Homo-oligomer: A and B are copies of this chain.
């Protein structure tokens, strides 16, 4: 009998016996626990757990776990390792994150299918074609903003994606977009949020004379650059770096930070609560 791998992510108010309850259930189902992580936020009184396990394919596993979790007041998410997520990448003129994600995907670092690349610039098409990924050019002008966003939503719906990655997509998306797309959207912002929310963060960092610049990978919410942070990193700068140097140094940061955030999401290692993340 063949085994399948799965991951279950659980959150609920903390109380005694939660670990044992889940461990027992999995044991009774014949599952072998491969990895388990947990976190207790004492301030919030919340318990979080991620368990990777393998077991003989049980058609009704979701029902069985669902029943148990319900009886324990738990919220849960169950994902099978062999059901790969479908990802769309949105990009504007700066294509370094796009290249980086596609190269990592080819190297096997990202457990996903890249469903499509969408851009308001035609240039990204060549990159997508290099990797054999469908490309849609959706140009935008101040006048066509709403229509273009509608077209984006339609393309994403057609592509049946589970994740949207904004890999330096420089158009502001309205709250509607999130509602209609209805899957997680990860953005890379080129500053160490919450510093330098909004436009031209490298210029403002240069003006403020900071000695470090950063990048932040976060889930997109209706409020600009204010969503739950998944990953951040920084690089040292000096007075000798002009804005162009910050942009250059920042590219390396953006690539790595976005890739780590996307990888964590694809591996189902991220739990969102309040406006924060647990990254197992």
Measured between alpha carbons, how far is A242 from B278 in the docked complex, in Å? 12
CB distance from A108 to the nearest CB of B (A): 9
Identical chains in the assembly = 4
Give the contacts of A238-263 with B (CB-CB under 8 A): 238-240, 242-243, 248, 251-252, 256
Which residues does chain B contribute within 8 Å of A212, judged by CB atoms?
192, 214, 232-234
Verify if A122 is at the interface (C-beta below 8 Å from B). no
Would B19 and A23 count as touching, CB distance under 8 A? Answer: yes
Chain B residues with Cβ below 8 Å from A130 are 130
The answer, yes or no, to whether A196 is at the interface (CB within 8 Å) is yes
Closest CB in chain B relative to A48 CB, distance in Å: 8
CB distance from A19 to the nearest CB of B (A): 5
User: A75 in the interface, Cβ–Cβ < 8 Å?
Assistant: no
Overall SS of chain A's interface: mixed
The 0/1 profile, CB within 8 Å of B marked 1, for residues 16-52 of chain A is 1111110110110000111111111111000000000
Query: Which segment, of A84-92, A150-158, A203-211, faces chain B?
Result: A203-211
Selected contact of A229 from candidates B34, B107, B211, B274, CB within 8 Å: B211
Select which of B18, B239, B277 is within 8 A of A209 by beta carbon: B277
Chain B residue with Cβ nearest A256: B252
Within the complex, the shortest CB–CB distance from A126 to chain B, in Å, comes to: 9
What 10 A-B pairs have minimum CB-CB distances, sorted nearest first? Answer: A209-B276, A20-B27, A195-B195, A23-B23, A20-B23, A211-B232, A239-B278, A16-B32, A19-B33, A212-B232
Give me the interface of A with B, judged by CB distance under 8 Å. 16-21, 23-24, 26-27, 32-43, 96, 99, 103, 107, 109, 130, 192-196, 208-212, 214, 228-234, 238-240, 242-243, 248, 251-252, 256, 274-279
Known A18-B33, A21-B27, A209-B276; 14 more pairs at CB < 8 Å? A16-B27, A19-B27, A19-B36, A20-B26, A39-B239, A43-B242, A43-B243, A96-B103, A99-B99, A99-B103, A193-B195, A210-B229, A214-B234, A238-B279
